[in-house]
Amino acid sequence: MTLTSNDLTKVKGIVKEEIHAQEKRLEKMIDEKLEEKLDEKLTQLKSDFYEKIDPILKEVVDARETEPSQTIVFRNWKTFTPTENTLSRSNYLLW
């Protein structure tokens, strides 16, 4: 039995389909591994960040509790021009 050109064409098509399917499986595996590594790196980055920032935040909270700050909020901040009238207590609130 000999192979005809039609048979060879069918075999080529089957091989191409199989190669394509295998490439897709490999791409999926690579994507999953990359995603896992990315998740690990992001988790580590978050952990490192919180370890470094947590003491600073605790200091800020402690400082606020011991010395409450005063904030000035102007009612008409868009049209604020410093004049004698705008410096009166009625134009700002102390929190």
Q: What percent of the chain has pLDDT over 70?
A: 68
> Cα–Cα distance between 24 and 16 in angstroms, integer?
12
pLDDT at residue number 52: 87
Q: Is the pLDDT of residue 71 over 60?
A: no
pTM for this entry? 0.45
> Cα–Cα distance between 95 and 21 in angstroms, integer?
66
> Cα–Cα distance between 63 and 72 in angstroms, integer?
19
Q: Provide the mean pLDDT of the chain.
A: 79
Q: Which of 13-27, 50-64, 65-79 is modeled with the greatest confidence?
A: 13-27
Q: Is the pLDDT of residue 93 over 80?
A: no
| Element of type H or E holding 92 | strand 92-94
